[in-house]
Structure 1
C-alpha cells in the first residue's frame, strides 16, 4: 500500500494537473509537477503559484516543480498524465525512454485520439506496451475546486486490484475527496468526451437565450445519445448513470467553470468559432473531439443529433441559431 510519504509524478502543468498536484501535496504526498513549457515551469518554480489558474493559492511545500522530465520520472513509480488530448501521443513518446521498470500510469486526460477516435487507453498500450499497469480517473471535477480542497467525487477504473487499492489511498483526502471504483474502461473514457460536446450545445442554447427549460431538454437528450453510443460500444449502464457519466455531464453543462459551456455560450452570442476559442483561453476539448465522436457514431450506427449539429456548426459554418432551433426540435 502507498504510504503517506509516497511520491507521484504529474505530467501536465495546466489547471487540472496543477490542481491534482496541490491536492495530493496537501494530503502528505511528494508531488513532482512537470510541464512542456520551460518558461512557464521556471515561473511556477520561482513564484510557487499558478498565475493563470489560482494566483492567490500558494503551492504546498511537498509540491515540487521539476523542469527535467527524466528526473521527474526517476523519483516516482506512479505517473498521472494530465495533458490535452491533442498532444497525448507526443507526450507518451517523450516519456517512454525515461520510465522506470515499475512505473504505473494514471490517465487523467479526457479525450480521444485525433482523427481516429481511438481511446487513449489503446494509444497508451500501443506506445508504452501491454504490460504497464494502467488506471483512468474521471468524474465531475472542476480543477479550481479540487485545488481549494472543496468536496469532490472521482471515479477510478483499473483491472489491477493492487493498483486500485493504492490509488484509493493516494486520492482520499480527509473525506473531502470521495473515490468510487469501477471496471468500465469504455464508459469512463467515452463519457469524459461526449459530455463536452453536449456542454457546447447547452452553452449555445443559453447564449441564444433559450432558457432553463431548453437547457435541461438538451442535457437529457445528450445523456440519451451518450448512453446509446456507450452501450453499443460495450460500456456498462452503471458507469453512465453514476458520477463519471451523468454526474460529469450535468456539471459540465450547467456551470460556467466549464470551458466547453463557455465556448458554447460565446457561439450562441454570435462570436465566431476561432474567436470564441481565443476568448475561452484554454483548450476546448469538445471542439477537438466532435469529429472523433461523430466517426464513432457512424461506426456503431448510433444516431446522435446533438453531435451532428455541433459538428455542422464547428466545421461547416452552420448558422448557430438555425442549429439551435434544430436541436430543440429534436429534444421535444
Structure 2
C-alpha cells in the first residue's frame, strides 16, 4: 500500500502503527493533541503509552487529520467510541475513493446504539466507495508492541477486502484470520469489556476461580444472545473475537476494564476508580450503550443489567451478585436461553 493512516495515538493505535511500520509500510499516526504529537515527533517513541519501542523511519506523526488520511489506501480508526463519529466525519472529506476503513475500537455509541461500522455507514459519502470492516481479538497492546505471538480476526462484508487487510497486518508473530460477520465481531468486542469489569469486581470481592469461570461462561451466553439479535452469526462468539477476547480481558492483569472492576470490588466508587486510571476503560460507557440496546431489542441480559445498576445507580457489588444467584432456576441450553 502507498500509505496507511492510523487515527489515534494511544496505546493500541501506536502498537498497530509499530506493527505495520516494522513491516516497511508507510504509516502516518494521527492524534488530536498537538502537544502529544510534538513529543512523539521529538522522541520518535510514544513514551506515554508504549515506552521502549522506537519508531521506525516509516512511521510519521501528525496532528492534521486531513494530512493523515489524504491518499491513504487504508484508514485504521483507533479513537474512543464516544468521539468516533466526530473524528470520522471530519476525516471523511479527505479520504480517497475505494479506501479500506478498519475500526479497531471496542464500543457502541451511547446516543444511537450504533457500532462503529454502522456509524461509518450512516455518515458515508457513497461517491467514495469506501469499504468498512473491523479488527478485533485477544490482543493487549503492550504485548503486540513487544512482538508477542498474537492472533486476531478481521471482518468485512466483502471477502476480498478482508483478505487484503489480513495480508496487510499479518506478520510472523501477528496472525490474522478473516470473517464476514462484521456485526458479530463488533458486539463481541464491545460487550466483553462489560463482562471484564464484572470479572474484576468478583476478584475484588475475593471470590474464587469457580466464580470467574461461571461469569465468563454466562457472560459469553449474553454476548451471543445480543449478537444474534443484532444479526451476528453464532459461531463468531466461539472464536478469537468472542471467547478469545473475553477470556483475555476477564483474566489478564493488563486489562483496563478488569482493573476498574477490581477497584469497585475493593470498595472504591466509580469516580474514584476512574480517577486512578491513565487510559480509557471502554466498558463503563459500553455498559450504558449495550443496556439501552438490549432493552430496545427486548434481549434479557442479567449480568449486563446488574452492571448497569452498579455503575449508574450505585448498587452494591455484593447485592448484585446475590440477586444474580437468586434468579429463577433454568435449563442451560442454546444462546436463546435466559
Q: Report the TM range for the smaller structure's normalisation.
A: over 0.9
Q: Which residue of 2 aligns with 1:16?
A: 12
SS in 2 for 1:28: coil
Cα deviation digits, residues 45-70 of structure 1 (max 9, x gap): 10111122221221122111122222
Q: Which residue of 2 aligns with 1:184?
A: 181
Q: CA deviation at 1:104?
A: 2.3
Structure-2 separation of matches of 1:271 and 1:128: 42
Q: Which residue of 2 aligns with 1:26?
A: 22
Q: CA deviation at 1:165?
A: 2.4
Q: Which residue of 2 aligns with 1:226?
A: 223
Corresponding position: 1:239 with 2:263: no
**Aligned pairs, how many?**
327
Structure-1 separation of matches of 2:65 and 2:294: 37
CA contact 1:217–1:331 (8 Å) conserved in 2: no
Q: Which residue of 1 aligns with 2:45?
A: 49
Corresponding position: 1:35 with 2:31: yes
Q: CA deviation at 1:162?
A: 2.9
Alignment of 1:270-281 (within 5 A): 270-281=267-278
Q: Which residue of 1 aligns with 2:297?
A: 300
Q: TM-score, normalised by structure 1?
A: 0.94
Cα deviation digits, residues 215-242 of structure 1 (max 9, x gap): 1111111011111121222211111110
Q: TM-score, normalised by structure 2?
A: 0.93
Cα deviation digits, residues 186-239 of structure 1 (max 9, x gap): 201100111000000000000011121111111111011111121222211111
Cα deviation digits, residues 91-129 of structure 1 (max 9, x gap): 012112222233321111111112221122121011123
Alignment of 1:1-332 (within 5 A): 2=1, 6-130=2-126, 131-174=129-172, 176-329=173-326
CA contact 2:257–2:281 (8 Å) conserved in 1: yes
Structure-2 separation of matches of 1:220 and 1:18: 32
SS in 1 for 2:29: strand
Structure-1 separation of matches of 2:325 and 2:205: 12
CA contact 2:15–2:145 (8 Å) conserved in 1: yes
| Deviates further, 96-105 or 271-280 | 96-105
Which stretches in structure 1 are left out of the alignment for 5+ residues? Answer: none
Q: CA deviation at 1:331?
A: 11
Which stretches in structure 2 are left out of the alignment for 5+ residues? Answer: 330-338
Q: CA deviation at 1:184?
A: 0.7
Structure-2 separation of matches of 1:331 and 1:91: 45
Q: 1:259 to 1:187 in 2, by over 3 A?
A: same
Q: CA deviation at 1:35?
A: 0.5
CA contact 1:268–1:320 (8 Å) conserved in 2: yes
Structure-1 separation of matches of 2:9 and 2:296: 35
Structure-2 separation of matches of 1:96 and 1:74: 10
CA contact 2:71–2:95 (8 Å) conserved in 1: no
Q: 1:32 to 1:272 in 2, by over 3 A?
A: same
CA contact 1:207–1:269 (8 Å) conserved in 2: yes
Structure-1 separation of matches of 2:328 and 2:260: 21
